A and B are shown apart, each in its own frame.
Chain A
Amino acid sequence: MSEARDEILARVRGALARDPATLTARRQAVAQMIATPQAGPRPQPRGDLAARFAERSLSMSSTVDRLATRADVPAAVARYLAANSLPGTGVCWPELADLDWQSAGLVLAGRPAGGDDLLGITGTFCAIAETGTLMLLSGPQTAATTSLLPETHIAVVPASRIVSDMEAAFALLRSERGSLPRAVNFVSGPSRTGDIEQTIVLGAHGPYRVHLLILDNE
């Protein structure tokens, strides 16, 4: 139905009543705007971004633990699961599969999550201090389901990857990756709903719990 396309665009052009002679110039202006993204007014937190990220994450109902390095992750995960009486079996992104889970008494498979997995552990592309948000990119080694299907999502967040705001995260994405992956998922705390009597319930269709492990030395 390209007929529909032509008719809709014709209606829009007709209603806008722009001079047809300006079309080329308008196209150039639009291309220029896209090529030079402008950040809008925003708070721009500075200084200790890890502290701010931790504080905002708590306000979004995530929980936070601060560790020194990557090697501390398995023990911290085991601690968290035990404290919350949660089972020690789950899946993780392949980049975390080499950690010594076994010594911590955990069984983690480096594969995407399925509908029955109760625990998913991911890394993050970067994290946002303004709102306490993870920025997860989909990809062959970074399944989107791992942060979505399990009841518990644990994310490993190197402090050096915490940026001030979404604009800074986009700048990082443009410079490191060039284009967007299939899915960019910003995650700020466990899933929630307020649909029944505007009463907030944590754990709608996604995780009930989001636990963040900030690595201060990485």
Chain B
Amino acid sequence: MRQQSMHFAARVGERLADVKLQANLKTAKGKFVDMRAAAVRAFDADAKACAAAAGQADAIDFEAVRDAAQAIRSKVIDDLDVWLETFEAKATAGGATVLWARNGAEVCAHTLEIARRHGLQKAIKSKSMLSEEADLNAALEAGGVQPVETDLGEYILQIAGNEAPSHIIAPVIHKNLDEVADLFSRTHKKPRQTDIPALTREAREALREHFLSADMGISGGNFLIAESGGVALVTNEGNGRMVTTLPKVHVVITGIEKVVPTLDDVATLLRVLTRSATGQSISNYVSLLTGVKGEGDPDGPEHLYFILVDNGRSTLLDDDFRDMLRCIRCGACMNHCPVYQTVGGHAYGWVYPGPMGSVLTPMFTGLERALDLPQASTLCNQCGSVCPVRIPLSQLLRTLRERQTTRGLRPWSERLGGKAWAWLAMRPAFYARAARLLSRYLGWLAGGEDRIRVLGLAPAWTLGRDLPAPQGGTFRDRYAARRRNTQ
């Protein structure tokens, strides 16, 4: 996917002015947040009821499962080399072939080589964000293999002219029913319908033919299981099962950080993953796929390939950013982010939007190529507080900001401002006088109201909000006055 994160500010402007997009974002706003909250409440109530039924005084809660999930992911990341070797050995012993890719180009090269080796013509795909990183669809087409996206959302994007997803689990969250209805009637050459179940059936029928005729299945992977040497896939639509059951070749494309130790660890991670993502206690399908079609098996692929991809992940092992590798791609951080909810996923300009994207994009593609992203956060830490594996997202964003500053990547006005402030902050007397002056200036701007509607020095800041007017003098003055009164 062509990266456009450099143009964040401009893209945000366009998104804010897009009436249709703003209406669509408003429809989605809060839904995922409410569903997660309800799922967590239900889990805690259930755990309590189960404990009471067993005569236990103490019940576990969702927070305890988050702790366990965090520990599992950290354990793997801290010995990632050994876990990768272990997974590779197990998978190979089970009949799979394990390939490695340093970057997106190598992902494409491997996939095309597999297609050539087995003479494959059509690839059905279930959702894989890594294939977006690698721009795999374009490479497949160029190599004579027809890629067909089968996740309903991804399918809609593909027939809309290969649009980019704007959310990692709800890729088409930026489109409304009308847009989908238009697209379907145009693509399927059928009368336009606006009933969501009818549209879903239309897509089912269109894709069923592809499921039955494709000879290659490409999927991502939620977890690589070291114990079994297999992959866990978490889906709702059933397309993931089709892609991994019907074609004669199955290719799994995942990041190197996805290993988990045991089946029991998968169970723990699932409890937090589906609740954090969609508020489900479990997704409709969880498939554990290990090895190839056995003797006498009526279904399953004859060949199974794993492509383990670095593409920047090993740079995150750096102590400052290692926490980020725990990510299990649930999307809770973007669902809870006020910035994401206002600008939508496309503004971020690459594969991963929202807070996790604002960390991953600069780390994967270069700090200087995504300058605005670490700034695209209020640091309110709603993301960090719901992250199922407790990634300190706002702290990581702050660290990225520090790196930008250290590397001299911030604009001169900001650097100058920072220097001026530092000079002032180290001189208390000046600071007190400047604060008093500023307070008086702001009071004058407010003109007797309790808020400032246009901020004279930085009018852009008040375009979409008001600044509260200062009340009753500076903190230092009030503190001094109070000390005088109490003495």
Contacts and interface: CB of A to CB of B under 8 A. Distances in A.
B199 interface: yes
Q: From DSSP, what is the main secondary structure of chain A's interface residues?
A: loop
Interface in A179-218: 179-199, 201, 203-207
Nearest to A145: B299
Nearest to B311: A8
Contacts of A31: 86
B262 A26 contact: no
Q: How large is the interface on A (under 10, 10 to 19, 20 to 34, 35 or more residues)?
A: 35 or more
A18 B319 CA distance: 12
Given A34-B226, A148-B238, A194-B278, A140 B268 contact: no
B242 interface: yes
B204 interface: yes
Given A12-B256, A179-B228, A131 B294 contact: no
A16 interface: yes
B292 A30 contact: no
Given A38-B264, A166-B270, A192-B237, A145 B245 contact: yes
A40 B196 contact: no
A38 to B, nearest CB: 6
Contact of A203 (B53, B200, B300): B200
A60 B238 CA distance: 15
A11 interface: yes
Contact of A16 (B46, B78, B246): B78
A112 B236 CA distance: 22
A156 interface: no
A143 interface: yes
A192 B106 contact: no
Interface residues of B, number: 109
Does more than half of chain B's interface fall in helix, strand or loop, or is it mixed?
Answer: helix
A101 to B, nearest CB: 20
Interface of B: 24, 27-28, 31-32, 43, 46-47, 49-51, 53-54, 59-60, 64-65, 68-69, 72, 75, 78-86, 99-102, 106, 110, 150-153, 156, 170-173, 176-177, 180, 196-197, 199-201, 204, 207-208, 211-212, 226-228, 230, 236-239, 241-242, 244-246, 256, 261-268, 270-271, 278, 281-300, 308, 310, 314-315, 317-318
Interface of A: 1-2, 4-5, 7-9, 11-13, 15-16, 18, 23, 26-27, 29-31, 33-34, 37-47, 56, 59-60, 111-112, 115, 131, 133, 138-140, 143-145, 148, 165-167, 170, 179-199, 201, 203-207
Given A16-B80, A39-B268, A133-B282, 7 more contacts: A7-B102, A16-B81, A33-B261, A40-B65, A196-B196, A198-B28, A205-B150
27 contacts: A2-B100, A4-B102, A15-B315, A30-B226, A33-B261, A37-B264, A38-B262, A40-B65, A41-B68, A42-B268, A43-B49, A46-B54, A60-B284, A112-B298, A138-B299, A148-B241, A148-B242, A182-B293, A186-B287, A192-B284, A193-B152, A194-B170, A195-B153, A195-B170, A196-B156, A196-B172, A206-B242
